[in-house]
Amino acid sequence: MNPKLRMTVLDALAAVAPDADLSSLDPDAEMAEELDLDSMDFLNVVGELSERLGVDIPERDYPQLSTLVGAVAYLEAATTGATA
Amino acid sequence: MTDDRTRDSAVVSLATVDVPDEVSDADWAVLDEAERHHVERMRVPAQRVRSAATRAALRRLVARRTGSDPAAVPISRGQYGQPTASGLYLSAAHSGRVGIVALCEHVPVGVDVECVDQHTHEPASHMLDRLAPNERRLLDELDGEERRLTFLRIWTAKEAVLKAIGCGLTVPLDAVAVDPNPLRIHARELDTRWWAAKAVDPRPGAIATVAAASRWLQVNRMRV
């Protein structure tokens, strides 16, 4: 997992859910359930990531961002121009 | 109600739940093994309580309709978590200390709730950018609390429709356009059925909206 992008995702999560304990987040678990994110929180995380990384994240790709591992892989592909 | 409205009206049974401080024995007793496992995996204690209370309420609502034991209701879930049981259309939502559950026999139903005290900031700009033009125009004319409450009405109505369709957040948010006053839904490009919605706020400080694939909507409030 790309450490820089992992930190970017964790920072975005912390910005949206400042009370969440991110220290032991299971990288393969659904982040919404692990961290008590509702749909609006999730969209805010997507917005943070889009803004921080300058990438457009279309709605159809949201399921790929449901876990930490998935989000990092998606963003790595998106920021390097590869097909996510 | 006219004869046309009676014929084209969806009847939704709806119940709200005051989420307790901790998971009650009564709620835990009606959940099945998969639901208990799901709840136990949650890392935020308040979320475990919300989820258990709302899932138990949904079981009780179905059990009242079918005359069965709440623990024996065969709830299954779709790709994005939308529940169903015994051929009934179901939906559930929770926020803060409020849970809300809905049931409809004949057409898809969705419900969403947001507690106002969890949304004290202005809606994020990236969120506003995703709204339909009529929604942005309306919000541009408002400010302060009225703007935040109107945004939450629009949001819960969109969520309710998307949950009823069962597509989650995989479609553009502006595919469902909401006129909040009076509450009207425009989603014909996404789903050609009629959509009706109604404000069902369970208490002051909680904004809730129910939507069903029907021209009109009748809500029967239940206690579970």
The CA distance from B221 to B180, in Å, is 22
Q: Has residue A84 got a pLDDT over 50?
A: no
Q: Has residue A39 got a pLDDT over 90?
A: no
Q: What was the pLDDT predicted at B1?
A: 52
Burial profile A33-62: b = 16 or more Cβ within 10 angstroms, e = fewer:
bbbbbbbbbbbbbbbbbbeebeeebebeeb
Instruction: Using CA coordinates, name the residue in chain B closest to A43.
Output: B127
The CA distance from B15 to B44, in Å, is 24
Mean pLDDT of chain B: 92
Q: What was the pLDDT predicted at B4?
A: 60
Rounded to a whole number of angstroms, the distance from the CA of A66 to the nearest CA of chain B is: 12
For the residues of chain B, what is the DSSP string, one character each?
--HHHHHTEEEEEEEEEE--SS--HHHHHHS-HHHHHHHHH-SSHHHHHHHHHHHHHHHHHHHHHHTS-GGG---EE-TT--EEETTEEEEEEEETTEEEEEEESSS-EEEEEEEGGG--SPPPHHHHHTS-HHHHHHHHT--HHHHHHHHHHHHHHHHHHHHHHT-TT-S-GGGSEEEETTEEEE-TTT--S--EEEE---STTEEEEEEESSSEEEEEE---
The CA distance from A34 to A45, in Å, is 14
Average pLDDT for residues B217-223, to the nearest whole number? 96
The SS3 of residue A67 is strand
Kindly state the percentage of chain B with pLDDT values over 70: 97
Kindly state the percentage of chain A with pLDDT values over 90: 61
Write out pLDDT tens, residues B27-50.
999 999 999 998 888 878 888 999
Mean pLDDT of chain A: 89
Q: Has residue B176 got a pLDDT over 70?
A: yes
Higher pLDDT, B93 or B167: B93
The CA distance from B163 to B83, in Å, is 10
Q: Has residue B6 got a pLDDT over 70?
A: no
Contacts with B126 from chain A: Cβ below 8 Å: 43-44, 46-47, 50-51
Closest Cα partner for B80 from B176, B173, B175, B167? B167
Q: Has residue B174 got a pLDDT over 60?
A: yes
Kindly state the percentage of chain B with pLDDT values over 90: 76
Q: Has residue B2 got a pLDDT over 80?
A: no
Of A36, A50, A63, the CB nearest to B126: A50
The amino acid at residue B160 is A
Instruction: Please check whether residue B149 touches A, CB under 8 A.
Output: no
Q: Has residue A32 got a pLDDT over 50?
A: yes
Contact (CB<8Å) A43/B127: yes
Q: Has residue A83 got a pLDDT over 60?
A: no
Write out pLDDT tens, residues B62-117.
999 999 999 999 999 887 778 999 899 999 999 999 999 999 999 999 999 999 98
Q: What was the pLDDT predicted at B218?
A: 96
Contact (CB<8Å) B41/A36: no
Higher pLDDT, B43 or B218: B218
Q: What was the pLDDT predicted at B44?
A: 81
Average pLDDT for residues B127-149, to the nearest whole number? 94
The CA distance from A70 to A75, in Å, is 9
Higher pLDDT, B52 or B121: B52
Q: Which residues pair with B12 in a beta bridge?
A: B104, B219
